[in-house]
């Protein structure tokens, strides 16, 4: 086995364990922090395959901005999920069964679609300038829509927090 395969296996195992903890932990702040580990693993995988721009963008945007936004939203709303009886894991078996079924369907679909296909070896790396030209010319509207969506989420969290404070 070569070093990239070993690194991929380690990163994937850490990501799977952290993703499992995201959905099973009872503390929402811990769930957000486990999500940071998953997103950092995605960035590491991007770096592993030589997509440095995508990896650094993953760190800057998802870990640096979105997770901070999540944590602000969590802190501003101050929800106590631990004391809520409705969030008790009463439906753990149906949720696990649904997750296993979705995993099986995804595996069958991927194997059916790709089978034994190999990745092409003639890929030419793109420069950061080429990626930014593509992003800010063809995809400028979705890019700006996401920024407005994130701003609306932050404003919504502040409004909810102020409404709960005022009574």
pLDDT tens digits for 8-56?
A: 999 999 999 999 998 888 888 888 889 899 999 999 999 988 888 888 8
pLDDT recorded at residue 80 = 57
Domain-embedded: residue 7: yes
Domain-embedded: residue 25: yes
Angstrom distance (rounded) from CA 43 to CA 137: 24
CATH of the domain at 1: 1.20.120.1200
Domain-embedded: residue 22: yes
Q: Among the three residues 36, 55, 79, which one is the final residue of a domain in this structure?
A: 79
Domain-embedded: residue 123: no
The residue count of the chain comes to: 167
Torsions phi, psi of 17, nearest 5?
Answer: -65, -45
Domains: count for the chain:
2
52 lies in which domain range?
Answer: 1-79
Same domain, 71 and 141: no
Q: Is 40 exposed, middle or buried (0-12, 13-18, 19+ CB in 10 A)?
A: buried
The tens digit of pLDDT for each residue in 104-149 reads 999 999 888 888 877 677 667 677 788 778 778 888 888 888 888 8
Domain-embedded: residue 107: no
Domain-embedded: residue 69: yes
The tens digit of pLDDT for each residue in 91-102 reads 677 878 888 899
- DSSP assigned state of 50: T
């Amino acid at each position: 086995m070569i070093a990239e395969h070993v690194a991929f296996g380690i990163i994937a195992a850490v990501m799977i364990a952290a993703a499992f903890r995201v959905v099973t932990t009872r503390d929402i702040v811990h769930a957000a922090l486990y999500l940071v580990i998953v997103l950092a693993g995605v960035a590491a995988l991007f770096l592993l395959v030589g997509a440095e721009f995508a990896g650094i963008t993953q760190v800057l945007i998802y870990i640096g901005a979105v997770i901070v936004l999540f944590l602000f939203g969590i802190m501003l709303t101050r929800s106590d999920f631990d004391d809520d009886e409705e969030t008790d894991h009463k439906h753990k078996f149906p949720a696990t069964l649904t997750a296993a079924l979705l995993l099986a369907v995804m595996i069958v679909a991927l194997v059916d679609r790709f089978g034994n296909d190999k990745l092409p070896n003639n890929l030419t790396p793109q420069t950061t300038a080429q990626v930014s030209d593509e992003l800010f010319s063809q995809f400028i509207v979705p890019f700006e829509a996401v920024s407005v969506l994130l701003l609306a989420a932050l404003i919504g969290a502040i409004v909810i927090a102020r409404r709960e404070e005022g009574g």
